[in-house]
Structure 1
Amino acid sequence: MIVVTGATGGLGGATVEHLLKRLLADRIGVSVRDTAKARHFADRGVRVRQGSYEDPAALRASFAGAEQVLLVSGNDPAADMVGLHRNAIDAAVAAGARRILYTSQQGAVPGNPYRPSDVHIATEAILGGSGVAWTALRNAAYGPLDLVLGPWHQTGVIAQPADGPVPYTDRADIAEATAALLAGERSVDGPATLAAPTAVTFEDVAGIASALTGRTIKRVVLDDDQWIADQIAIGVPEQMARFMLTWYQAARAGHFAETGPLLAELLGREPRTTADRLAAHVAA
């Protein structure tokens, strides 16, 4: 059995949907905080059990019978995420899982100013000492593009801090590739980068957006302090703004530039590009 955590979230839920296209439902289980939110999976024959990283006993029960467990990483900056991830890894080992897959992050290396990288580095170290086979999926940035680009479609300007090349990747592609790994279509040990094949800068994105819209989309580089002030002015708490800034700082330092062939190989096709995603946004 394959057990997926975080299955009521975007990435975990999409991964389960792709697993259902590959495997019989009785080979799939989910471990979720609120079982009512996973009713749509239970109705299709997926085993649904309650479990959370804060409750090791419940986790062990929810992982029972699992040959593989997908641990979707937490992202609460106020929580001890390393400790919570350790709970989940220990529970998977105790349940007899033969492989643990963990959703890590591209650029999970020392010196990365983007603070979540520290959590992923520490969690990967725990996996390495767990005694079972493991895969750390170092996923490239897969959130909505507007999250990092800002409202360029309305303003005609990408006004953000200095950046660097990033292979912005479609979440649906990462979910499909993760399902392929879980279904045994390929096995990868240790860290594995899942990223679109081309890394682009905001300057590149401005050019792509201009061609797609027939408008001139400008790239304006904001001073870090000015960007922080602008974020605070629109209601973003200063601590959150400074946290978000570290992502741009990591990008400009090259921590998110890595690409690779694995995503395309798992998909059996080319992943969606930044241009594809922008085109879909423009057409919507």
Structure 2
Amino acid sequence: MIAVTGATGQLGRLVIHELLKTQPANSIIAAVRSPEKAEDLADLGVVVRQADYDQPATLATAFNGAKKLLLISSSEIGKRAAQHSAVIDAANASGVTLIAYTSLLHADTSPLALAQEHVITEQKLAESGVPFVLLRNGWYTENYLASIPSALEHGAFIGAAGNGKIASAPRADYAAAAAAVMASPQDQAGKVYELAGDTAYTLAELAHYLSETTGNTIQYQNLPEAEFAKVLVGAGLPEGFANILADSDAGAAKGALFDSSHQLSQLIGRNSKPMTESLKASL
């Protein structure tokens, strides 16, 4: 059996549906905090079990019978390291023979503040004794698509990424890659996949694509990291989250969101969806 944590999240649900293309529904465990949110998955025959990162007792029960576990990183920044550690311990106790973890692109060398908890989790996996594979996901295209309405309203796309290239891909592509690894008959233990989109762009180029597609003139306005964070706070984002986004943009300026190895497209057997296509679909 294959267990997937966070199975009702934005990435997890996509992974489940990808797995259903090749795996029997009753061989897939959707490990979720709130089972009532997974009724649609249960209706498909998927095994739904409660698994709360903050309640370790639920984890061992959720992973019972699973041979492979996809640990999708928690969305609770600052709590991730402890939550992931609890999952790994429970997986170890349950006899899981392979853990796949959704880490961050080039986590071990990344300048992003987000990398810290991923590195701690990777170290925990290495110390656990459980065979593991790292799915180091790059940036989700949706992270920037979320800013499109504001850009159209104000005629400007703001950021702090300078001329940094961003090799993003949609969540659906990363989900397909995770499913391919989990369903693979080949031994995945010890592998590290640096996953990023085939087509990279700068935020200035993104603003240009947006202008071309809509017929509106959208300029890219590059701001210092601290100023960008202040703008995000002014737009209503919590300060901590605004600082993370600004830090990530600043990291992009240093190349942290770029990779040209094409490991993502190799895993999914097709080209990743370029930003231009995602942008048109979003509009």
TM-score by length of 2: 0.91
Paired residue type of 1:275: T
Paired position in structure 2 for 1:83:
82
Q: Report which stretch shifted further, 204-213 or 3-12.
A: 204-213
Q: List structure 1 runs of 4+ shifted beyond 6 angstroms.
A: none
Q: Report which stretch shifted further, 183-192 or 200-209.
A: 183-192
Structure 2 CA distance, aligned partners of 1:12 and 1:228? Answer: 29
Aligned: 1:135 with 2:133: yes
Shift of 1:149: 6.1
Structure 1 CA distance, aligned partners of 2:106 and 2:150? Answer: 26
Specify the SS of the correspondent of 1:48.
strand
Paired residue type of 1:85: H
Shift of 1:128: 1.5
Aligned: 1:195 with 2:196: yes
Paired position in structure 2 for 1:115:
113
Shift of 1:169: 0.9
Structure 1 contact 193–260 (Cα < 8 Å) conserved? yes
Structure 1 CA distance, aligned partners of 2:212 and 2:187? Answer: 40
Unaligned 5+ segments in structure 1 are: none
Structure 1 CA distance, aligned partners of 2:229 and 2:94? Answer: 46
Paired position in structure 2 for 1:14:
14
Paired position in structure 1 for 2:261:
260
Structure 2 CA distance, aligned partners of 1:261 and 1:186? Answer: 20
Count of matched residue pairs: 280
Cα deviation 1:56-97 (Å, max 9, x = unaligned): 222111101111001111121342x21211110111111111
Structure 1 CA distance, aligned partners of 2:225 and 2:58? Answer: 44
Shift of 1:110: 4.4
Paired position in structure 2 for 1:72:
72
Structure 2 CA distance, aligned partners of 1:253 and 1:155? Answer: 27
Structure 2 contact 110–256 (Cα < 8 Å) conserved? no
Cα deviation 1:183-214 (Å, max 9, x = unaligned): 11655433212211122111221222233233
Unaligned 5+ segments in structure 2 are: none
Paired residue type of 1:121: V
CA change 1:150–1:226 in 2 (3 A) is: farther
Structure 2 CA distance, aligned partners of 1:78 and 1:271? Answer: 31
CA change 1:50–1:200 in 2 (3 A) is: same
CA change 1:219–1:187 in 2 (3 A) is: farther
Paired position in structure 2 for 1:97:
96
Cα deviation 1:198-244 (Å, max 9, x = unaligned): 22111221222233233332112123343233333333343432232
Structure 2 CA distance, aligned partners of 1:150 and 1:159? Answer: 12
Cα deviation 1:73-129 (Å, max 9, x = unaligned): 1121342x21211110111111111110111111312461x3221000110111122
Paired position in structure 1 for 2:157:
158
Structure 1 CA distance, aligned partners of 2:173 and 2:201? Answer: 18
CA change 1:166–1:55 in 2 (3 A) is: same
Q: Report which stretch shifted further, 189-198 or 116-125.
A: 189-198
Shift of 1:148: 5.6
CA change 1:229–1:50 in 2 (3 A) is: closer
Structure 1 CA distance, aligned partners of 2:186 and 2:198? Answer: 19
Paired residue type of 1:29: I
Specify the SS of the correspondent of 1:135.
strand
Shift of 1:42: 1.6
Structure 2 CA distance, aligned partners of 1:72 and 1:8? Answer: 11
Paired residue type of 1:265: Q
Structure 1 contact 193–259 (Cα < 8 Å) conserved? no
Paired residue type of 2:68: Q
Specify the SS of the correspondent of 1:61.
helix
CA change 1:111–1:15 in 2 (3 A) is: closer
Q: Report which stretch shifted further, 69-78 or 141-150.
A: 141-150
Structure 2 CA distance, aligned partners of 1:209 and 1:270? Answer: 22
CA change 1:185–1:260 in 2 (3 A) is: farther
Structure 2 contact 160–253 (Cα < 8 Å) conserved? no
Paired position in structure 2 for 1:58:
58
Structure 1 contact 196–260 (Cα < 8 Å) conserved? no
TM-score by length of 1: 0.91
Paired position in structure 2 for 1:232:
233
Instruction: State, as a whole percentage, how many aligned pairs show the same letter.
Output: 34
Paired position in structure 2 for 1:245:
246
